[in-house]
Amino acid sequence: MVPTAFLVTVAVFLLIHLTPGDPAAVILAESYTPQAAAAIRQDLGLDKPLPEQYLFYIVRMFHGDLGRSVRNKLPVTQAIGERVNATLELGFAALLWSLLVAIPLGTLAALRRGRAPDIIASGLTVAGISVPNFVLGILLILVLGLLLRALPVGGYIALGDSVPDNLSHVIMPAVALGTFGAASTMRFTRSSMIEVLNQDYIRTARAKGAGAWRVVNRHALKNALIPVVTIVGLQVGAILEGALVTETVFSWPGVGKLAVESIFSRDFPVVQGIVLLSALSYMFANLLVDLVYAWLDPRISYS
């Protein structure tokens, strides 16, 4: 994780600083003058060579300082911290939706291979993978929000303020964000279950008179989840990435929407902090997946 994080910081730093545009021009807007722009670049350290800027960035990062926002002068950690709860809530809801749909339907499709449930599940998988989350989000807004008026079309109500209002606001963005993951997980669950159900120990359990429910839940499902856990781990890391679009569509005040706003306003420090957070979420998700492997399969051990 350490060398990966180092390479991420280098890549993000270079990509952000090599893209065209001048943060000083964004800050000054209509009051732009060459002298004022030069003063701002000096204040932000943008007049120094790139290696020196990167070294200064790394030193500050190890002290918990990711810089200050160019737009509102807030510390980057504070700017992200104010939005991260909303993103975590949306991500948890999307992941919960994904798992509640994918694992039961994937298991059912494997048990009814070639029959109607399998065909329906396969069709849903293709549709879920093919439709981008922003298209699905717009369709949900048109149907559930504007046509049926069943759910609010956007915005955010904190869970502590009102639980019913919070749930009504989170349903559509969670479905839009989690459907792609649900489709992928369903496909892997089906394939893994089919493979496990053909193993010798499954035939032995059936020969001993174990019922279908016991065979699936006690013997098959746990082993079938090993490759599924890998996919779910990647989805956990990808939640922040998918939230970039989903939060914008639904006006959800999370880290994804903050990232979009910061990109358009050339707010380098905030963009760097968000990308670093996204990379770390991927790495910690993969670490958690490795640990879950050992719990699912006793044959796996780490020494």
How many helices (H) and strands (E) would you count in the chain?
13, 0
- Decide if 232 contacts 226 (C-beta within 8 A): no
Give the C-alpha separation, 19 to 265, whole Å.
13
List of domains in the chain: 2-62 (no CATH), 82-296 (1.10.3720.10)
- Decide if 87 contacts 247 (C-beta within 8 A): yes
- Decide if 192 contacts 230 (C-beta within 8 A): no
For residue 71, the model assigns a pLDDT of 78
Give exposure, 136-165, as e/b (b: 16+ Cβ within 10 Å).
bbeebbeebbeeeeebbbbebbeeeeeeee
**Torsional sign, CA 23, 25, 29, 31:** positive
**Could you state, in chain order, the average pLDDT of each consecutive group of 10 residues for the chain (303 residues)?**
83 73 67 78 74 83 81 86 90 91 90 89 90 91 91 86 90 92 90 86 79 76 80 75 84 89 82 84 82 72 62
Of 188, 181, 55, 162, nearest to 109 by C-alpha is 188
For residue 19, the model assigns a pLDDT of 66
Give the C-alpha separation, 138 to 152, whole Å.
13
Give the C-alpha separation, 24 to 33, whole Å.
10
State which amino acid sits at residue 161.
D
For residue 301, the model assigns a pLDDT of 65
For residue 170, the model assigns a pLDDT of 93
Using DSSP, state whether 132 is helix, strand or coil. coil
State which amino acid sits at residue 58.
I
Task: Kindly state the DSSP code that residue 90 receives in the 8-state scheme.
Answer: H
State which amino acid sits at residue 205.
A
For residue 27, the model assigns a pLDDT of 66
Contacts (Cβ under 8 Å, ≥6 apart) of 86: 156, 247, 252, 253, 254, 255
For residue 174, the model assigns a pLDDT of 93
Give the C-alpha separation, 134 to 157, whole Å.
21
pTM of the model: 0.80
For residue 20, the model assigns a pLDDT of 66
